[in-house]
Amino acid sequence: MIKVSVLYANEEGKKFDMDYFSGKHMPLVQSRLNSMGLLRIEVERGVSSADPNAPAPFVAIGVLYFNTAEEVHEGFKTHGREIMGDIPNYTDISPQIQISEIV
């Protein structure tokens, strides 16, 4: 199984609209990638660091699951421009993206 993690660093002075991210962006991602092999999505909101008094290193993380890396690449080749083009609607943070294999 392949996991795509899209991480938004908790950067001072940056904006992040969690309502838009979870209520509009992630449903957009799901609607475009379901037919491309997307199995499920998850939305995480950063709460804290390991130190409960320290802020979370990431304000949010979007997680996508696919069976294969090829599905990920085909999905983003087809719909990536639209998906990535929606990012300025909810944040000015440049996401970090990691594609991993669950072992």
DSSP string, 40-85: EEEEEE----SSTTSPPSEEEEEEEEES-HHHHHHHHHHHHHHHHH
Query: What CATH number should be reported for the domain holding residue 63?
Result: 3.30.70.100
pLDDT in tens, 13-29: 999 999 999 999 999 99
Query: Residue 68's domain spans which residues?
Result: 2-101
Nearest to 3, CA basis, from 46, 39, 50: 39
How many structural domains is the chain composed of? 1
Cβ proximity of 75 and 37 under 8 Å:
yes
pLDDT of residue 22: 97
- Compute the distance between CA of residue 29 and CA of residue 46 in angstroms, rounded to an integer: 20
pLDDT of residue 47: 96
H/E element holding 2?
Answer: strand 2-9
Q: pTM of this prediction?
A: 0.94
